[in-house]
Structure 1
Amino acid sequence: MSASTYSPAPRGRWIAPHAAGPLSARLRVPGSKSLTNRELLLAAIADGPGLVTAPLHSDDSARMIDALRALGIGVEEQDGTGDFGPDLRITPGRLTGGGTVDCGQAGTVMRFIAPLAGLADGDVLLTAHETALHRPMGAMIHALRDLGVDVEDHGSWSLPFTIRGRGHIRGGRVEIDASASSQFVSGLLLAAPRFDVGLHLVHTGERLPSMPHIDMTVETLTRRGIKVTRPGPGEWMVEAGVPRARETAIEPDLSNAAPFLAAALVLGGEVSIAGWPTRSTQPGALLPELLGALGAEVHRAGDVLTVRGTGRIRGGEFDLSPVGELAPTVVGLAALAEAPTRITGIGHIRLHETDRIAALAGNLRALGGEAEELEDGIRIVPADLHGGTWPAHHDHRMATTGALIGLRVPGVEIDEIGTTAKTLPEFTQLWERLLASRTPGSETA
């Protein structure tokens, strides 16, 4: 049985639809990648079989499933009630080595599986797609070695490397500089219950990006009966134990909803996302506040979030340090705004699938825009944009930002729309459904 059954995203060049509004759309988006991969890992080390319902089926989640299977965990698809693919039944087992884990482009896989591999009996080779081998892993390698794990990286401090698992990790106190990615913290915390004495993790860096993702990790552990405390800022203590098996429903991916909701600001009208959770640790939960500051009217009724726009977009100053993954969408809106925008707190997104700051600035300038790279952000001055190629740089969020700009700028061509399969293989289908909702009489160029 294949790791996932999602419909493959189209590949190759894709001309972003240029449209006139206003919109009147109601959509659902697939499950959260961040929650799916956390719950899959915790289910794999739980005290019995568990079920993950409405999970994301994408390249990243498929990589996690394949990684767990390579370590001896049973993952089987079964009929579900969701709109985007089957549920997943996970059967824990003894973690075994002797295999290879290909992380693809998935940061959650490379940072979450590395500590888990230390608990396996035998060697585990971790590698990744050639476009992801640059992603930082040194902090994780250093922390694992401090915990007594044998890691053979040939001095590169990066993928590929081999973890020589001995079936257990003692645990205890470890210090780590997770300034480059909060995933280093989350990866260690997720595996920590199975360490012999648990874990006392101390972050030593000056900054820690994307705290909502760490809060998400703590919440998923707590829901499975694992005690996590915070003795002080940048410190976490996880008690040793076995996570409880359970049935877990995955929330929609709120960050993947961002370009669809942002389209209401670009074209006017309204876009609603169904299934919006009452509360969430996802960074995308801050979208209502952020889009409101950019000029949207935001309303919630039950589990439906609605964003209304007039086609006019404000500029402003935004510190996006908690929600760096939303920066590409905000940059797309800023390029179409009525005043300059300054975005800070996102230096860490230079280390994602691509240097997102450089890529966004370069892509905008190629279309006639004015964008200045800052040390930890970007400044955009609105200008008359023209069509042209919008390189995706192997990055799903770059591709969706190009689609957003293309709503107002004719002739924007994303060079590889298939990058959206990383977290949202249904992107082009949902985008077409979004534009099909325009008021009768509006036209698409």
Structure 2
Amino acid sequence: MPDSTSTQPHQNAASSEEHWPAPTVRAPVSARIRLPGSKSVTNRALVLAALSEGTCLVRRPLLSRDSELMIDALRALGIEITQSASDEGQAPDLSITPAPLRGPATVDVGNAGTVMRFVPPMAALADGHVRFDGDPRSHERPVGELIGALRALGADIDDEGRGALPLTIHGTGSMRGGEVVLDASGSSQFVSALLLSGARFDEGVHVRHQGPPVPSQPHLDMTVEMLRAAGAEVTTQENSWKVEPGPLRVTEIIVEPDLSNAAPFLAAALVTKGEVTVQDWPEHTTQGGDALRGLFTRMGGEVSRSEEGDLTLRGTGAIHGITADLRDVGELTPTIAAVAALADSPSRLTGIEHLRRHETDRIAALATEINRLGGDVEELPDGLVIRPRPLHGGVFHSYDDHRMATSGAVIGLVVPGVEVENIVTTRKTIPDFPGLWAEVVS
């Protein structure tokens, strides 16, 4: 298996060489925005709808590269997915009609963690061979624990001993299932992947984790909540999740706005002493992005939520450093690090060793790029120490990582001359980030 713990950030040689001049503002920003739907909810909804017993309508989904890869993967397995009308300003609704899963098929995972992990358990239920491949970085991202777990549950997988992509699953139309032990410290998606398809296994699935703590607990909570809403019987204990065999029945899933994608926009208010309102912020949610309210309050912002469900962050002019364990909300790290680089005191961000195996080694990439602009960032085995220093302009490399690109945009708001390399990588989760960013900073 390729070494996924290298301290060198991954830079895809195929990245666009074009640089996007990050807008710099001279006055506080003031904006009201509506965010696209949650990638995490959308791709779980698509899987559950595909495994359900009848047609399901997924409302307000995210239509971005990651969700399009998921849609293409499900279609390759025989699922019918069509777009239907939606409210003005919203993404088209998706109608998913289940069908017997079948091969032969080829699935392009791109560099989407949800696709490379959620679809293989479905492929094990298919009748026929299903080949998985993707971007070069996908060959380096961890899936070995999931492969081992699927084999233990009855799947026939040919990965030529790599424990990584590319691989082929030889489906027989059913999966035995049962109990399996794995180490999910590399990604909570290993557990979610097995749970999402587990109700369709002959014996259901009982997943037990052994190893360091599992990161991104809110994403596991999201999986469990969505399964229960689809009619699955799910029981959970510490480091243990069990889904009983049985049918899934779901006719409609409404996708929440992607709260993690709110991070750069709320950060814009914080670092410019401005005000940004995000519409339709849910009162109760399993999304990890909801932690932004507390994190940005600690860093100097003032946060309020209206009775109508709009969340507003106001910058006070103060930007404070923070000491935080971000294990459960690692996807917020790039934005928190960007704000910390502009703060009035040092920050220490820990609990995020798993970020070394995301779209890139985010820990190494953040240290490299902030230091390239004159910062003082030290890598820890599981995090970062950020000591604010005056920053200057320069190229901020994205490493084909959407959250790296948006963190460069945040720094560019107050540091003239920042150019973000390959800004189009933000299409992974935000269909038009530059356009939405222009609305906020204009």
1:318 alignment partner in structure 2 = 324
Q: 305, 312, 331: which is aligned to 1:300?
A: 305
Confirm whether residue 280 of structure 1 aligns to residue 285 of structure 2.
yes
How far apart are the structure 1 equivalents of 2:232 and 2:23?
A: 48
How far apart are the structure 2 equivalents of 1:351 and 1:305?
A: 32
Shift of 1:22: 1.4
Q: 321, 339, 345: which is aligned to 2:345?
A: 339
Q: How does 1:205-220 map to 2 (within 5 A)?
A: 205-220=211-226
Q: Which amino acid aligns with 1:385?
A: L
How far apart are the structure 1 equivalents of 2:56 and 2:196?
A: 16
2:251 alignment partner in structure 1 = 246
Paired-residue identity, %: 54
Q: Which amino acid aligns with 1:305?
A: L
Q: 75, 83, 86: which is aligned to 1:80?
A: 86
How far apart are the structure 1 equivalents of 2:25 and 2:398?
A: 21
Q: 21, 26, 37: which is aligned to 2:27?
A: 21
* Residues 363-418 of structure 1: per-residue CA shift (max 9 Å, x gap): 01111100000010000000010000000001000000000000010010011001
Confirm whether residue 309 of structure 1 aligns to residue 315 of structure 2.
yes
1:164 alignment partner in structure 2 = 170
1:122 alignment partner in structure 2 = 128
Confirm whether residue 48 of structure 1 aligns to residue 54 of structure 2.
yes
Structure 2 unaligned regions, length at least 5: 1-15
How far apart are the structure 1 equivalents of 2:91 and 2:320?
A: 38
| TM-score calculated relative to the size of structure 1 | 0.94
2:412 alignment partner in structure 1 = 406
Q: Is contact 2:139-2:165 (8 Å) kept?
A: yes
1:330 alignment partner in structure 2 = 336
Q: Is contact 1:54-1:86 (8 Å) kept?
A: yes
Q: Which amino acid aligns with 2:350?
A: T
Q: Is contact 2:19-2:395 (8 Å) kept?
A: no
How far apart are the structure 1 equivalents of 2:355 and 2:67?
A: 21
2:261 alignment partner in structure 1 = 256
How far apart are the structure 2 equivalents of 1:428 and 1:343?
A: 28
Shift of 1:218: 0.2
Shift of 1:11: 8.9
2:210 alignment partner in structure 1 = 204
| TM-score calculated relative to the size of structure 2 | 0.95
Q: Is contact 1:15-1:414 (8 Å) kept?
A: yes
Structure 1 unaligned regions, length at least 5: 1-9, 437-445
How far apart are the structure 1 equivalents of 2:107 and 2:298?
A: 42
Shift of 1:316: 2.2
Q: 230, 234, 250: which is aligned to 2:239?
A: 234
Q: How does 1:378-393 map to 2 (within 5 A)?
A: 378-393=384-399
How far apart are the structure 1 equivalents of 2:298 and 2:47?
A: 36
Confirm whether residue 193 of structure 1 aligns to residue 215 of structure 2.
no
SS of the aligned residue for 2:414 comes to coil
Q: Which amino acid aligns with 2:39?
A: K
How far apart are the structure 2 equivalents of 1:398 and 1:299?
A: 27
SS of the aligned residue for 1:181 comes to coil
Classify 1:154/1:169 alpha carbon distance in 2 versus 1 (closer, same or farther; 3 Å).
same
SS of the aligned residue for 1:326 comes to helix
Classify 1:82/1:164 alpha carbon distance in 2 versus 1 (closer, same or farther; 3 Å).
farther
1:5 alignment partner in structure 2 = none
Shift of 1:82: 5.3
Shift of 1:99: 1.0
Aligned residues: 426
Q: Is contact 1:99-1:124 (8 Å) kept?
A: yes
